[in-house]
Amino acid sequence: MGKDAVVRQLQARRPGTRFVVTATTRPLRPGEVHGVDYLFVSRAEFDALIARDELLEHALVYGEYKGIPKSQVRDALAAGADVVLRVDVQGAATMRRLLPGAVFVFLVAESEHALAHRLVSRKTESPDKLLLRVATAREETRRMAEFDYVVVNAQGQLERAVDQLCCVLDAERCKVARRGGPLPQL
């Protein structure tokens, strides 16, 4: 199970958590739902989102465009919700500049071999794309220190990964700097 499974399970446990649905130009895969997994748009529609300044950030990823809709982030933050974004390391660097108070979690497979096995078993990528994805993951792992937390999503350990994410959320809420007001008088 990958990042999407972790996010779905996190939302099941923490219903107030908002997942921002990324816009993408890539085709829909079997089992995916428009508006739930991604906002599947044409290249022309994606260009229009950029032209209207409706994306917080966007990038070319594995040959397809992906971007974070501003309105979803703005609405979730205004509601006081915990907001989950699915971005690569470049997107995280952009988000760190735009949202300096945000917390960044690097979600990683237990090994490069395990990641390759998951990608192959999905049967959604060509051999060339598989190699590119594994090489990209290897490079991204080298930037893990740019994140606040690391959560390992090991095969068969989905609950453990979600437990750790819940711990991150709880710990961040308890930080004095995040409380937003004076401490109660004791």
CB 29 within 8 A of CB 181: no
Catalytic site includes residue 118 = no
Please pick, among 29, 74, 173, 178, the residue that the annotation labels catalytic.
29
Please pick, among 8, 26, 118, 133, the residue that the annotation labels catalytic.
133
Q: Which helix (H) or strand (E) holds 67?
A: strand 64-69
Catalytic site includes residue 122 = yes
Other CB atoms closer than 10 Å to residue 67's CB: what's the count?
A: 23
Catalytic site includes residue 86 = no
Which of these, 20, 19, 37, lies nearest to 28 by C-alpha position?
37
Please pick, among 74, 122, 138, 178, the residue that the annotation labels catalytic.
122
CB 89 within 8 A of CB 137: no
Strand partners, 83: 18
Strand partners, 34: 38
CB 149 within 8 A of CB 168: yes
The rounded distance, in Å, linking the Cα atoms of 135 and 141 is: 10
Query: Mind telling me the catalytic residues?
Result: 29, 122, 133
